[in-house]
Amino acid sequence: MAFLNVQNLTKSFGTNTVVKGVSFSFDKGEFISLLGPSGCGKTTILRMIAGFENPTSGSIQVDGQDITHLKPNQRQLGMVFQAYALFPNLTVGDNIGFGLKIAGMPADQRRARVEEMLKLIGLPGFEKRYPYEMSGGQQQRVALARAIAPKPRLLLLDEPLSALDAKIRVSLREQIRAIQLDLGITTVFVTHDQEEALSISDRVVVMNAGNIEQLGSPHEIYNQPATRFVASFVGQLNNIEVNVIDPATRSVSVDGQTITVANLPPDAKANATSLLTLRPEVLSVGPRDGNDITLTGTIADVTFLGSVIRLRVALGKNVVSLDTFNDQRTPPPNRGEPVTISLASKDLLVLQN
């Protein structure tokens, strides 16, 4: 039996339906990310799981228990908010121990648990400090410790890293994942950041306009996108418009250059146009083992990104992006230079709209 089971969950605010019959289930101990743009319904789903919003319809089960209509304090869940939500007039120790005190845990046990949590988040000895005496990253770690101190059966994280700078975000997301693995706690993480979702999740739910576009492992989501939205939202994407020459042989023309592809849309017709997509990293400058398609074009733009140089290559009306590693011994190409690129036909994808 699934540990977290959400079935046909719908939420409407007046005439506006923001979550549209969403269903998913996850096993105990999984780290799940709800990923999507602002307004897609991911935070509303998290709030319904937490009990802060009532579903219009549908059900939520945790460990076989129907919690759909329970109050938040009856669900045995921990939640970390984007804005930390620490009590400014309480010390770090009192913040972490707040839920334990409400639950009636004796003071000596409470102190021991607070000390254990501070060690877990790497802040031993901070129990006497106040939130205003700490950095944003430290405050968010305290909020995490407060959420897991009562040993919840499910941990909910609502974009907890979005207010932090880039380096702290990377460090803290790694720490969150390490703590989650150490405790084995089932975790639902809401984010709009694709890198965060892909780097720390067991599985990812990609959402758009209140619906699930795809659910799968990070590898599946990135390499086998089910829809054009998933492919474009998760990572970079090149769209190539081709003119179909012969659907039977899968020969097409890319700005006057004839190639043979592995797949075409099932409704492709001769002399019609079709749209194929591919990731920038499958393109190479010059030949590469396994690449059976070559195309010629000119360098339209060069962007230096440190270890990587991003090139935009104009094939005609189609312009594609690709990344090459920076070689300090070889200067990057100049705009307007002719260039030959290669790819494997199997890497050209046919995606649903």
Task: Answer yes or no: is 232 within a domain.
Answer: no
Are both 209 and 143 inside the same structural domain? Answer: yes
Contact 239, 225 (CB under 8 A): no
| Among 227, 247, 274, residue at a domain's last position | 227
Domain identity same for 177 and 242: no
> Does some domain include residue 353?
no
For position 248, which CATH number holds? 2.40.50.100
Looking at the fold, whether 218 and 255 belong to one and the same domain comes out as no
- In sequence order, what DSSP letters do the residues of 153-208 get, joined into one string? SEEEEESTTTTS-HHHHHHHHHHHHHHHHHHT-EEEEEES-HHHHHHH-SEEEEEE
Domain limit, last residue, from 227, 256, 286: 227
| pLDDT on residue 352 | 65
Is 159 found in the same domain as 76?
yes
| Amino acid symbol at 8 | N
pLDDT value of residue 264? 86
- Mark whether 178 and 67 lie in a shared domain: yes
Range of the structural domain that residue 287 is part of: 238-346
The verdict on residue 233 lying in a domain is: no
Of the residues 227, 256, 274, the one at which a domain ends: 227
Are 276 and 295 found together in one domain? yes
> What's the CA gap between 289 and 291, in Å, rounded?
6
Q: Are residues 222 and 257 in the same domain?
A: no
Whole-model pTM? 0.88
Q: 137 and 86, same structural domain?
A: yes
pLDDT at 110: 94
**Series of mean pLDDT values for 10-residue runs along the chain (353 residues):** 94 96 96 96 97 97 96 94 88 94 92 94 94 92 94 94 85 93 96 94 97 97 91 90 92 93 87 90 92 95 91 95 88 92 91 69
On whether both 223 and 273 belong to a single domain, the answer is: no
